[in-house]
A = this chain, B = another copy of it.
């Protein structure tokens, strides 16, 4: 496994691979890898001859009051995980390598970015679109892997690839959870032991929502009310949103049907947690 930090070095490796006719799977990450990332890497490993993982905490997708400076990192640990999972190349650039002083371009999107997390994280998805677009151009993958936990990000990346006719297939992978149900996230490390207990309300509420839909609830307003009521049973939980939206356009809908995304964002102490489920069938 190689670890490189410059765009030029990645492009040289990728060029060689392309000339040799290899397929490339790509997993973009912000590092501090957990089993969620592991599942993406494993999926990439199974379907492609070469696997690239990027580890880059992207400053452009963090707001001024967000956790860019405190975001956890451990390159040595991440490298071991990648090596064990059969990764061929880690791309670990500096912010200056990705955004030199004379960097002026951005990729953004209307509609999908204006709902859910977009309401409280202004500019977040512009940062995501820009960095992912750039990483796709650098690594030129046949397939790129994203987790369903970040459902809005996944929908936005798919939309960008479709709109700009990018030559990559976006593969979504199921959310990986702790034994008690909490969705895996690098941000879970922020949780104090007490907050970690309280955080369970998030995945519990997702389970509740899934059950209600399975039992026949098709009224989005009623589902939201039930999920909000359940979230409020945890005094430490501060609701940011509970939303029922179209899974592709992310626009609010009133009647639940297959293809609908039910997404929540909740603050537990200083930690912001998101979770969701998709309605596959009624």
Residues on A close to B: CB < 8 A? 7, 11, 102-112, 129-130, 133-134, 137-138, 140, 159-160, 163-167, 248-249
Residue contact A105 to B108, C-beta cutoff 8 Å: yes
Q: Which residue of B lies closest to A248 (CB)?
A: B102
State how many copies of this chain the complex holds: 2
Contact A159 B111 (CB under 8 A): no
Closest to A103 in B: B163
Chain A facing B: main interface SS: mixed
Cross-chain contact of A107 among B106, B140, B167 (Cβ < 8 A)? B106
In the complex, what residues of B have CB within 8 A of residue A11's CB?
A: 165, 167
Which of the listed residues A105, A106, A164, A167 has the most CB atoms from chain B within 10 Å of its own CB? A105
Across the interface, do B105 and A163 meet the contact criterion of CB distance under 8 Å?
yes
**Closest chain B CB from A243 CB (angstroms):** 18
Q: Which residues of B contact A165 (CB under 8 A)?
A: 7, 11, 134, 137-138
**CB-based closest 7 A-B pairs:** A105-B163, A137-B165, A104-B111, A105-B109, A104-B109, A104-B110, A138-B165
